[in-house]
Amino acid sequence: MVALLCACSSKNQDVAVVDTEPQVTPTPIGPLKAAEIMQALSNRTFKYTRGSRTGTVTFNSDGTFGYEEVGKGPGTGVWQASDGALCEAFDPTSFLPQGTRSECQPFKAAGGKFYAGSARFEPM
């Protein structure tokens, strides 16, 4: 939204243009630095697709995440950003009894979505 403010007198006219739109920092396209990945994911919830698996995931700023996988149930884990990569380790669950060790996947942004290896994250 742009607001125009006018101050008029018989001798001069001043017009000030004030931009009242909130400033949004666009997410870079392509590989991201660790700080950009942290900013993009921290304290946000996403719909995810990993192959045939789908669900929702919330990445917390303390490096933990919680997810709900369709047809399987809830789970938790830890995440870490490094330049160009997202690293995740899944805690044990009834459907993933051993959990997983930390695995890092190339991370990029495109079309308002984020990708880590074969996983796609869409903001909710």
Domain range 25-123, CATH architecture: Beta Barrel (2.40)
Query: Per-residue pLDDT for the chain (124 aa), expressed as one digit of tens each?
Result: 444 444 444 555 555 555 555 444 555 566 799 999 999 999 999 999 999 999 999 999 999 999 999 999 999 999 999 999 999 999 999 999 999 999 999 999 999 999 999 999 999 9
User: Where in the chain does DSSP place strands (E)?
Assistant: 2-8, 13-19, 30-31, 44-50, 53-59, 64-69, 73-82, 85-90, 103-110, 113-116, 119-123
Domain range summary for the chain, segments of one domain joined by +: 25-123
